[in-house]
C-alpha cells in the first residue's frame, strides 16, 4: 500500500481552527474519519470538531478500541505493558546520554578553536548526537519487531474484532483527520491497531501532535523546559505518511529560534530531513511527497542561522 498522495500538516487548532477552510481549499471532503486518541479520556468529546468540519464525521475511537482489545486479552495486555515499560527505560537511558552529549557540544562550541578546526569540531559534535538518535530508534524498532513476531497482535481475535469494526467504520470516509494531544498515546494506540495501514490511501489532515505522528520521526522538544535544560529528543518512528520532514508545532512557545547556535544545531542534527515549524493555524501541503503549498509554516535552513 503506497499511502496517501495528499498529506496536510498543521499547527495547533485550539484558538483559530482552520481544518475546514484548508480542506475546502484543497477539495477534500467528508465524510471525515477522525482520530482523537491523543485526547486520551476526552477521545469522544468531539462536538466542537464535528461542528467545525460541518460534514459527516466518524470518530474511529482508536484509544477506546485498543484498550477494549487489550482488556479482553490478558496475555497480550501483559506483554504490551511490559514492552511499554521497557521502552520507557530505553527513553530514560537515551535521555541521560543526550544530556551529556549536549553538555559536551556546548563545551566544544564555546572553545576558542582555530578557524580551520571549527567546522570539523562542530561536525563531530552533531555526528555524536545523531548517532545517539539513530541507536535509540534502532532499539525501539527492534523491540517492536520482537513484540510483533512473538504476539502477532493483528492476528489475535481480541484485536481482529476491533479491526473488522474499524474497517467498516472507515470505509465510507474520504478524508482522515488526526488530531493532536498526547503524542505518545496517539502513536502507541494507532500502532496496536495497524498504524497507517488502516488509513489506506485517503488524504490525511494532521495537526499538532497528529502532525508529529504523521511524519517518519517523532521529535519531542522544548528550548525552555521547566528544568532549565535544552530538551530535544527523538521519541520513536512516526507513521511515515510525510517523508523527509521533521515538524515542530507551537514553535512560538517551544523553540528559541532567535538563538542562532541552537537553531542551527537543530537543522544540522536532522538533515537531510527538512525541519518545518508549524505555528498556530499554519499549514503545509505535501502532494506525492513534495511541498505543494504552505501558509504560516516555515522551513528552517542552515543559511539563515549561519553568521
Q: What is the pLDDT of residues 4-22, one digit of tens each?
A: 899 999 999 988 999 999 9
Distance CA(8)–CA(26), nearest Å, equals 10
Distance CA(181)–CA(107), nearest Å, equals 36
Report the alpha-carbon angle 77-184-90, nearest 5: 75
- pTM of the predicted model, to two decimals? 0.92
Distance CA(294)–CA(276), nearest Å, equals 11
pLDDT (tens digit, 9 = 90+) per residue, 168-216?
999 999 999 999 999 999 999 999 999 999 999 999 999 999 999 999 9
The pLDDT > 90 percentage for the chain reads: 77
CB atoms within 10 A of CB 227: 6
Rounded mean pLDDT of 35-63?
96
Distance CA(105)–CA(121), nearest Å, equals 9
Name residues whose C-beta falls within 8 Å of residue 96's C-beta, 6 or more positions apart in sequence.
Answer: none
Report the alpha-carbon angle 281-287-289, nearest 5: 105
Distance CA(295)–CA(23), nearest Å, equals 14
The C-alpha cell 460541518 sits at: 54
CATH number of the domain bearing residue 186 = 3.40.50.880
Q: What is the pLDDT of residue 286?
A: 96
Cβ atoms of 207 and 109 closer than 8 Å: no
Q: What is the pLDDT of residue 265?
A: 86
Q: Is residue 116 part of a domain?
A: yes
CA distances from 299 to 81, 192, 203, 303 (A): 38, 32, 22, 11
Rounded mean pLDDT of 145-153?
96
Q: Is residue 1 part of a domain?
A: no
Report the alpha-carbon angle 107-112-117, nearest 5: 95
Number of domains forming the structure of the chain? 1
Residue 237: strand, helix, or coil: strand
Q: Is residue 207 part of a domain?
A: yes
Q: What is the pLDDT of residue 123?
A: 81
Q: Domain containing 252: what range? A: 6-305
Q: Is residue 105 part of a domain?
A: yes
C-alpha cell at 233: 529528543
In sequence order, the β-bridge partners of residue 246 are 275
Is the pLDDT assigned to residue 133 strictly greater than 70?
yes
The C-alpha cell 521547566 sits at: 226
Q: Is residue 32 part of a domain?
A: yes
Is the pLDDT assigned to residue 2 strictly greater than 70?
no
Amino acid at each position: 500500500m503506497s499511502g496517501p498522495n495528499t498529506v496536510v500538516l498543521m499547527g495547533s487548532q485550539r484558538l483559530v481552527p482552520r481544518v475546514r477552510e484548508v480542506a475546502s481549499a484543497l477539495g477534500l471532503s467528508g465524510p471525515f474519519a477522525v482520530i482523537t486518541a491523543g485526547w486520551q479520556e476526552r477521545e469522544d468529546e468531539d462536538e466542537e470538531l464535528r461542528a467545525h468540519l460541518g460534514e459527516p464525521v466518524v470518530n474511529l475511537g482508536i484509544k477506546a478500541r485498543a484498550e477494549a482489545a487489550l482488556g479482553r486479552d490478558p496475555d497480550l495486555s501483559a506483554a504490551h505493558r511490559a514492552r511499554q515499560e521497557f521502552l520507557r527505560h530505553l527513553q530514560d537511558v537515551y535521555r541521560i546520554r543526550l544530556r551529556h552529549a549536549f553538555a559536551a557540544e556546548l563545551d566544544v562550541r564555546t572553545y576558542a578553536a582555530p578557524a580551520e578546526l571549527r567546522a570539523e569540531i562542530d561536525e563531530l559534535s552533531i555526528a555524536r548526537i545523531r548517532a545517539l538518535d539513530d541507536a535509540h530508534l534502532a532499539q525501539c524498532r527492534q523491540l517492536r519487531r520482537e513484540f510483533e513476531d512473538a504476539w502477532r497482535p493483528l492476528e489475535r481475535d481480541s484485536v481482529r474484532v476491533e479491526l473488522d469494526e474499524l474497517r467498516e467504520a472507515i470505509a465510507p470516509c474520504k478524508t482522515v483527520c488526526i488530531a493532536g494531544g498526547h503524542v505518545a498515546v496517539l502513536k502507541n494506540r494507532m500502532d496496536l491497531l495497524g498504524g497507517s495501514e488502516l488509513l489506506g490511501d485517503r488524504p490525511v489532515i494532521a495537526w499538532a501532535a497528529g502532525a508529529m505522528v504523521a511524519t517518519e520521526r517523532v521529535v519531542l522538544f522544548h528550548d525552555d523546559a521547566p528544568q532549565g535544560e535544552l530538551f530535544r529528543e527523538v521519541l520513536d518512528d512516526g507513521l511515515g505518511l510525510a517523508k523527509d520532514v521533521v515538524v515542530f508545532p507551537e514553535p512560538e512557545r517551544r523553540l528559541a529560534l532567535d538563538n542562532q547556535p541552537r537553531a542551527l544545531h537543530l537543522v544540522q542534527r536532522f538533515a537531510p530531513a527538512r525541519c518545518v515549524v508549524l505555528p498556530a493555524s499554519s499549514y503545509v501541503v505535501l502532494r506525492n511527497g513534495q511541498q505543494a503549498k504552505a501558509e504560516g509554516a516555515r522551513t528552517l535552513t542552515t543559511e539563515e542561522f549561519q553568521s
